[in-house]
Chain A
């Protein structure tokens, strides 16, 4: 490995390093709050960086560090690099996996993984909360707040630009031409005499040159790729059954394992009898793991059957036995003692309410929800005496290193994690139970790779679900206007629950409890948003848009109640209250797209909602009909302000997908527990939206400013409220609890 040559820009460096037959360019982070363990492991003259561009005899490879859960992150990242590097996407290889271990390090992978979020991602959202401090101390360095994404938008283009200019210098050195007279195009440096040199030819020389300092990035008007429709790099594979996912992965000599966990979520295993299971064909072993038993067989189905056949004795779940008790725990949390944050307190809510005879009040509920990406979770783990290897679809490779290291009794650095393609996540793969369990099995059969595949039933009923949440609102209207809005939200802390499984405690308030509610662009004379911390109940985790997934519904639906009491129009009153010019444009856009003008009649109705989450203002108008078969969702209009739309096709797909995801869950999904056991374990009882229910969806991306914000999550929070508003307009029924199918039928 060569020496690291760097230049400084903001808080990161773009450096280069020699690799076999060529050169790699990438980012190296500075400003670390602690010593870099990676550098400690390197000998003199060695360096490490997170590579984005590798050029060698094989040509140009773009390395896209951020995991792709299905949101098209690989393509978008590749386009950002290619924009400045002057290569065409069909000329280059894209390497989403870990590159040569010689210069790869998962700590840096995590770092890289967190800043780039073209499709949004639940990972970023935890950075908004108290978590970032914890992350820093364990070396994950999540960049805080909304700087996360814009930073990546710059960084990848910068890597492309530095690589391009270094290649020009290499060409100048080789030919004697002045670097200023050189141009680049389609993976070649063009010389003044009309001849050209391929980047690959120049790579060995480029490896010896210090990357030039401070290159100006191209202006948006010069962009060739950004903002134009792109073909996703994986689209052919994903349309021909040739894309390999985690669950498809094979390792030589591996055995198949299936798990039977205590049906009572996270309850203990007391004992088991594997007699019947061991008699089954192909079954070699049944072993205990934390909270369950695993059967080892020679294929997946035999392992499933065997795990089912194990008789086990289980202990109880460590949380209340009935849903009534869960809801009661939330209802009991609206107290001064449980107050977690009051980040918004405009005017004086208490005086306004005390002075008014008539107040409006209501209670809202959002249930536990499974993530249920269509690919059930799986992991392959092999443990040897002094090392371990993991193959899995994950968003948290660094945690996995630590956890597998602990289970195997080896150094985390001796654990190699191969991150595989994921068939969806929605936050599911921010947990690593499946990997820990596979490792627990693998330590009991050292040297043999163990592939643990969850059945759908195990996956859904043992998911760490979306938080359960409750809101209580009070309000006052006067002279046809909303005058006072007091919203209290109670939920257990997602961040605390999630991090406790990584052995971490998170002090301080959890901003996710009020995310999507306290920071909305509406100015009301008296407005207060209070977060209350409910006790830990069932284990919960980040679910697409996290706190805002419940709070976008609460805030907007509550606002609708007040607007209705005031006798105002939901769109007009929102526009009147909207104090943020960016948000106003988004509202105006959906009003114009939907041709919003008052009441529709004929059993039809419209609703509108706007939520700012992850820095993105996203507004939705939904139109429904009340038919003889129930409510039919006819049409959805969405507008979102994201600064720059990198790929319009992917943007459109992600927004529509986010709307379908949110509406499907609002319509008919919940996870409930009876004696700790999930009452839903497959798609028969957790349906989501199906094709025949899918409305037409019209999408507009607004672009004000040179930045890029993720769009994977922001379409989720407003959807349920816009649907509830539309159903109210069509039927007069006010829906205050999800799923709505408990109260109305859907066609």
Chain B
């Protein structure tokens, strides 16, 4: 089957019930997408499908409709997305393992609502677990990114 990831078309030969997460990580080698729970509880595997944040561990690849964007396609070290730039400015990461998913959730939120209230931020981000406890910085970084997005 064919899928479009980060603007590139890939052909993969896998079972249709294989979760998108594992197709991305093991078949396509896109390891910025993380495995944390496999049951839609942690958000580490968050990617965008046509701009919407989804948990790739719960998306059978056979049912996938739309183009996938991963953290690696959102921006790069040389061409940062506004959310990534804010994450760097606020030094959000500790171990960093959850941050791919956090950033993808925040980017989807801001694409839809560039002026989120604290409650909007909590709602959009509470499906993303951070075991290191970086939530206070995530909040600040989302607000900074929102300002960048609004002024762009």
Please list the residues of chain A having a beta carbon within 8 angstroms of any beta carbon in chain B: 69-72, 231-232, 234-245, 247-248, 250, 256, 281, 299-301, 372-376, 422-426, 455-457, 649-650, 653-654, 656-661, 664, 682-684, 688-692, 694, 696-697
Contact = CB atoms under 8 A, between A and B. Distances in A.
A241 B70 contact: yes
Nearest to B72: A241
B98 interface: yes
Given A244-B31, A423-B95, A424-B97, A659 B133 contact: yes
A240 B84 contact: yes
Interface size bracket, B side: 35 or more
Nearest to B136: A656
A658 B98 CA distance: 16
B122 interface: yes
Contacts of A241: 31-33, 70-72, 74, 100, 103
B41 A656 contact: no
Contacts of A682: 37-39, 41
A622 B139 CA distance: 20
Interface string B16-29: 00110110011101
B99 A256 contact: no
Contact of B93 (A232, A245, A684, A694): A232
23 contacts: A70-B97, A231-B88, A232-B91, A235-B93, A241-B31, A241-B103, A248-B31, A281-B15, A301-B19, A374-B42, A374-B44, A375-B36, A423-B96, A426-B131, A657-B94, A657-B133, A682-B37, A683-B36, A688-B131, A690-B127, A691-B122, A691-B139, A694-B135
Contacts of A684: 39, 41
B68 interface: no
B135 A689 contact: yes
Contact of A69 (B39, B91, B95, B129): B95
In order of increasing CB-CB distance, the 10 nearest A-B pairs are A241-B32, A70-B95, A660-B133, A423-B97, A238-B96, A241-B71, A657-B133, A301-B22, A238-B93, A299-B26
Contact of A374 (B29, B36, B80, B135): B36
A70 B72 contact: no
Interface of B: 15, 18-19, 21-22, 25-27, 29, 31-39, 41-42, 44, 70-72, 74-77, 80, 84, 87-88, 91-100, 103, 121-123, 125-139
A659 B29 CA distance: 36
Nearest to A636: B136
A692 B126 contact: yes
Contacts of A690: 126-127, 129, 135
B70 to A, nearest CB: 7
Nearest to B33: A241
Given A239-B99, A683-B129, A234 B93 contact: yes
A644 B23 CA distance: 47
A374 B130 contact: yes
A300 B29 CA distance: 12
Contact of B129 (A244, A374, A649, A697): A374
Contacts of B35: 247, 300, 376, 456
Nearest to A244: B31
Nearest to B121: A691
A557 B136 CA distance: 27
Given A240-B80, A424-B97, A683-B42, 14 more contacts: A232-B91, A240-B84, A241-B70, A374-B95, A375-B34, A656-B136, A661-B133, A682-B38, A683-B36, A688-B129, A690-B129, A691-B135, A691-B138, A694-B136
B11 to A, nearest CB: 16
Contacts of B41: 682-684
Contacts of B71: 240-241
Contacts of B72: 240-242
Of the candidates B39, B72, B94, the one having the most CB atoms from chain A within 10 angstroms of its own CB is B94
B7 to A, nearest CB: 15
Nearest to B95: A70
Contacts of A256: 26
A101 B19 CA distance: 40
Contacts of A231: 88, 91
A684 B76 CA distance: 33
A652 to B, nearest CB: 9
A692 B35 CA distance: 23
A18 B42 CA distance: 48
Contacts of B25: 248, 300
A28 B129 CA distance: 42
B36 A422 contact: no
A424 B131 contact: yes
Contacts of A425: 95
A697 B137 CA distance: 10
Contacts of A248: 25, 31
Given A71-B94, A376-B36, A691 B125 contact: yes
Of the candidates B44, B75, B131, the one having the most CB atoms from chain A within 10 angstroms of its own CB is B131
Nearest to A696: B136
A387 to B, nearest CB: 27
Contacts of A72: 94
A657 to B, nearest CB: 4
B18 A239 contact: no
